[in-house]
Structure 1
Amino acid sequence: MTGRRLPHLPSQGAELGNAAPFFPKLGDLAADTAGSGRVGVVVTLPGEDSATTYHLRPPGGGPAWSAPADGTTLRPVPAQVTHATLLPGRDAVYDPRARQSSVPMEFHLEDGSTREGALVLTAIDLERLYAQTCRLLDRNENVLSEDS
C-alpha cells in the first residue's frame, strides 16, 4: 500500500456513488426521506423570502413542512407510468428455461417521455390474457356488426 488516502473508500469518510445532488426548483415534486418519506411540492427555496430551508406542501394541499437547505433529505420523484403500448415490429418471445413469455412494451410516462420495457408473463398469466383478449375481440366484433 502507498499510504495515500483513497477517497472512494467508505472507511476513509468519502461517500460512494456518483449521483449528482438534487436541488429542486420551485414547483418541483420532491420526496423527503426524513421521517416518513412523504412527497411534497417545493413552495419556498432556501434564501427566498429569508427562508433558510426548503418548504414543501402536500400536492393536494395541507400543512407545509421544512427540509434542510442543503437538500440532503430530498430526492426527485420519478414520473409515473400512465399506460403501456406494444412496441411495433417486435415479437413476443418465450423462454422455456424460465417458462415465461416476454412481450416488448413501450411505457408512457406522465411527463410525456417513454421507456422501453417488457411485460413478463407466466403460462397462467398468458391464459388469463388470452381469455380477456378473446372477450375484447368478441365485443369489438359485435360492435362492428351492429354498426353495419
Structure 2
Amino acid sequence: MTGRAAPHLPSQGAELGTAAPFSPRLGDLARDTAHGGEIGVVIVLPGADAATYHLRPPGGGEEWTAPADGTTLRPVPAQVTYVASARRDVSYDHRAQQGALPVLVYFEDGGNTESLLVLDPDQLELIYYQVGRIIELREKARGGAL
C-alpha cells in the first residue's frame, strides 16, 4: 500500500471513513452493531417525535433504540434464493487453472445480479460428476435408460 487515500473506491471519499452513514427508512431491516449485531425492523425514525431510531426483532419481541446519526446501523442485504446459469459461454484460464461459469444470482427481494462461479480443477471434476448424475436422474425419472 502507498498510504495514500484511494478516492476512486466507491465506498471511500478523499479519506478513509468518509462514506455516508446508513440512514434506514421505516420498515427497513438494519443490523445494530451496538446491540450485538442483532437485526431489527425500523419501527420509529428519529425526528420530531423521537430522538433515536427504534427497532424490533423481525418476528416480534423487545424493542430497542439506536443513535439518531445511524452510526451503529448497517444495511441487511437481501438473501440469495438461488443461483442459475447465465446461459453464456464458460471460460478457462490455464495459467490460473480455473474455470469460470457465468451465473445469475437471484435474491428474495426479486432482484438479481450476474456473477461468476470460479472453479479450480478439483471443483471442475466434482461439478462434471454432479451434472452427469443429474442427467442420469432426469433420464431415470423420464423412464429412459442410459
> Under TM normalisation by the shorter chain, which class is it?
0.7 to 0.9
Q: Normalising to structure 1: TM-score of the pair? A: 0.79
Any idea what the Cα deviations from partners look like across 1:83-104, whole Å, max 9, x if unmatched? 111112x211111111111101
**DSSP-derived class of the 1:34 partner:** helix
TM norm structure 2 = 0.80
Task: Tell me how far apart the structure 1 counterparts of residues 136 and 16 of structure 2 sit (CA, whole Å).
Answer: 56
Paired amino acid for 1:142: K
Partner of 2:38: 38
Larger radius of gyration: 1
Pairing of 1:115-134 with structure 2 (within 5 A)? 115-134=113-132
| Structure 1 position 107, deviation (Å) | 0.6
1:20 is matched with 20
Query: Which residue number corresponds to residue 3 of structure 2?
Result: none
Q: Following the alignment from structure 1 to structure 2, what is the Cα–Cα distance between the partners of residues 78 and 58? A: 16
Residue 138 of structure 1 deviates from its aligned partner by 0.8
- Distance across 2 between alignment mates of 1:20 and 1:130: 45
Distance across 2 between alignment mates of 1:18 and 1:85: 36
Instruction: Note if 1:77 corresponds to 2:100.
Output: no
**Matched residues in 1 for 2:121 and 2:96: separation?**
11
Report % sequence identity.
55
* Residues in 2 aligned to 1:119 and 1:35: alpha-carbon distance in whole angstroms: 35
- Structure 2: which amino acid aligns with 1:21? P
After TM superposition, the structure 1 = structure 2 runs for residues 130-145 of structure 1, keeping only pairs within 5 Å, are 130-145=128-143
Q: How far 1:65 moved relative to its partner?
A: 1.2
Cα deviation for residue 38 of structure 1 reads 1.6
Inter-partner Cα distance in structure 1 for 2:24 and 2:105:
25
Structure 1 counterpart SS, 2:34:
coil
* RMSD, aligned α-carbons: 2.1
- 1:132 is displaced (CA, Å) by 1.4
The residue type equivalent to 1:57 in the other structure is R
Shift of 1:69: 1.1
Partner residue, 1:100: 98
- How far, CA to CA, are the matches of 2:29 and 2:15 in structure 1? 25
